[in-house]
Amino acid sequence: MNAETRPPDPRHQRPEGVTDTTVEALGALSKALETTERARGALYTFHQLTGSADLSLDDAVRLLREAGHGAQADRVEREILGRNVIPGHWTFQIVEEYNSTYYEAFRTVEQEIRGELAEGRDHLYEAEMKEARRTQGHPDHTAG
């Protein structure tokens, strides 16, 4: 059997008895988790950008002082530099809370449900879509 006629990897084949609706439901759950992964990435971007902005304030304060604007430099230091982004929290704390409160719970539930309903197999919906959409015999459409 060559690569062009080889069936999809068994890790991506639905176990016996798993219905179309279950595969669709697991696909929706997986898509929601993937969206959460993207949101988490955006949260890390927010964290890094806010931190970079705060560090850039050092230059702004220095330059304000060099330009003779000590009162304005003092105000930036007092009111903005090192400020909480929400009451009591810097961005790293927001990331930590998101991870422990929402993200880890979501990952765990998705993984456990996939284990219960599909022997832990991942991306069944997408694998079946790939199989349905590929051109048999075309070298760039192999199953593997």
> Is it the case that residue 86 has pLDDT exceeding 60?
yes
The model's pTM: 0.79
- Is the distance from CB of 125 to CB of 33 less than 8 angstroms? no
From 8-17, 64-73, 117-126, the region with the lowest mean pLDDT: 8-17
Distance (Å, whole) CA 142 – CA 48: 40
Rounded to an integer, the average pLDDT of 21-32 is 94
Q: pLDDT averaged over the chain?
A: 90
Confidence of residue 1 (pLDDT cuts 50, 70, 90): very low
Token pair listed for 56: 């850039």
Token pair listed for 101: 């409160």
Rounded to an integer, the average pLDDT of 40-61 is 97
